[in-house]
């Protein structure tokens, strides 16, 4: 039965993997082309767009990692499995992107103060190519999302990747417009100006993502959980619980929330029924895994946690 379940899980995710592989390959191709011809055409905006396209590649890779890690079983050494691999990969990648953007910011300011000739034709061609590829990749993921509306871990990552691709398509279109102005009117300051606009836009996304990744790695309380309100709701909804302490709520990945707590109950013999109600309550709150330690009034836990 266990072996059959693994086979079924693999079948369910194979279609998602294939679409992600296609999107990753196409976007990686456009990144390489944009960097090569960005350097050749002397266009900093084309290189900046390549960086944003690379950010999309990373978001797609993270979605792919999420698909693999959820099917990887925990071991005696790795009791949580490999769910945090997704967040760790995202954190490192976003950190690299941050330093890359700082360098591009510096180069853009230098170019703005000292404009250089830019080959507008290549900016138009490869900006347009990036726009088409991003739009096509987003369409692939959108079709997947509509045909598979399950609230699984990897689906949320795919939805995020889809939104990234859509926003990048808009930026690529802006590169094309800038390229047209450069080609027709030789206004070379447009190139570093576009680059600066893109850098600040991407920086906002990267800093937000880094903050979220760091919060998960530090096992902070997930943003969608208000711990104070949660405790108050437990006290009102479950009169059999006299006290709750040593409560911890944290994320193992971007969509796997765990909770552990000690509860003092009126009667330990009714704990099984209470636990069943608590499981339903926490599941509705988006908490996927709970560990509850029941205690009696006379024998409370005296160990500091």
Q: Which class would CATH give 2-217?
A: mainly alpha
Half-sphere exposure of 61 (CA within 13 A, CB side): 19
Query: What count of other Cβ atoms lies within 10 Å of the Cβ of residue 123?
Result: 31
pLDDT for position 65: 81
Residue 211 contacts residue 159 (beta carbons within 8 Å):
no
CA–CA separation, 37 and 118 (whole Å): 11
pLDDT in single tens digits along all 305 residues of the chain: 443 443 434 445 566 788 889 999 999 999 999 999 999 999 999 999 999 889 888 888 888 887 777 677 788 888 888 888 888 888 888 888 899 999 999 999 999 999 999 999 999 999 999 999 999 988 888 765 544 444 444 455 677 778 778 888 888 999 999 999 999 999 999 999 999 999 999 999 899 989 998 999 999 999 999 999 999 999 999 999 999 999 999 998 877 899 999 999 988 988 999 999 999 999 999 998 999 999 998 877 665 55
Long-range contacts of 273-277 (CB under 8 A, 24+ apart): 274/238, 274/240, 274/241, 277/238
Written in H, E and C, the secondary structure of 131-145 is HHHHHHHHHHHHHHH
pLDDT for position 144: 55
pLDDT for position 3: 38
pLDDT for position 303: 57
pLDDT for position 2: 46
- Phi first, then psi: give them for residue 52, nearest 5 degrees: -70, -35
CA–CA separation, 122 and 115 (whole Å): 18
Q: Which class would CATH give 227-295?
A: alpha beta
Domain extents in the chain: 2-217, 227-295
pTM reported for the whole predicted model: 0.80
Query: If we measure between CA atoms, which residue out of 137, 67, 302, 111 comes closest to residue 199?
Result: 111
């Amino acid at each position: 039965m266990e072996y059959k379940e693994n086979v079924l899980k693999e079948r369910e995710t194979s279609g998602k993997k294939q679409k992600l592989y296609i999107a990753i390959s196409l976007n990686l191709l456009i990144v390489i082309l944009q960097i090569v011809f960005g350097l050749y055409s002397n266009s900093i905006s084309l290189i900046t767009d390549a960086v944003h396209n690379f950010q999309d590649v990373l978001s797609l890779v993270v979605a792919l990692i999420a698909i693999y890690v959820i099917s990887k079983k925990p071991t005696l050494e790795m009791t949580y499995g490999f769910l945090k691999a997704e967040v760790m990969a995202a954190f490192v990648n976003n950190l690299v992107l941050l330093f890359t953007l700082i360098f591009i910011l510096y180069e853009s300011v230098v170019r703005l103060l000292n404009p250089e000739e830019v080959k507008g034709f290549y900016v138009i061609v490869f900006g347009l190519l990036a726009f088409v590829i991003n739009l096509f990749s987003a369409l692939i993921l959108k079709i997947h999302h509509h045909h598979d509306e399950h609230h699984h871990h990897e689906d949320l990552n795919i939805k995020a990747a889809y939104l990234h691709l859509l926003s990048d398509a808009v930026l690529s279109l802006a590169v094309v417009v800038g390229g047209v102005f450069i080609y027709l009117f030789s206004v070379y300051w447009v190139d570093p100006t576009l680059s600066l606009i893109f850098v600040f836009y991407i920086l906002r996304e990267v800093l937000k993502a880094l903050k979220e990744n760091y919060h998960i790695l530090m096992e902070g309380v997930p943003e969608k959980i208000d711990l104070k309100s949660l405790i108050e709701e437990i006290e009102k909804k479950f009169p059999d619980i006299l006290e709750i302490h040593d409560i911890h709520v944290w994320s193992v990945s971007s969509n796997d929330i765990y909770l552990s707590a000690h509860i003092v109950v009126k009667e330990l013999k009714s704990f099984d029924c209470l636990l069943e109600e608590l499981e339903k309550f926490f599941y509705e709150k988006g908490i996927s895994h709970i560990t509850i330690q029941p205690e009696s009034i006379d024998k409370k836990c005296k160990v500091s946690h």
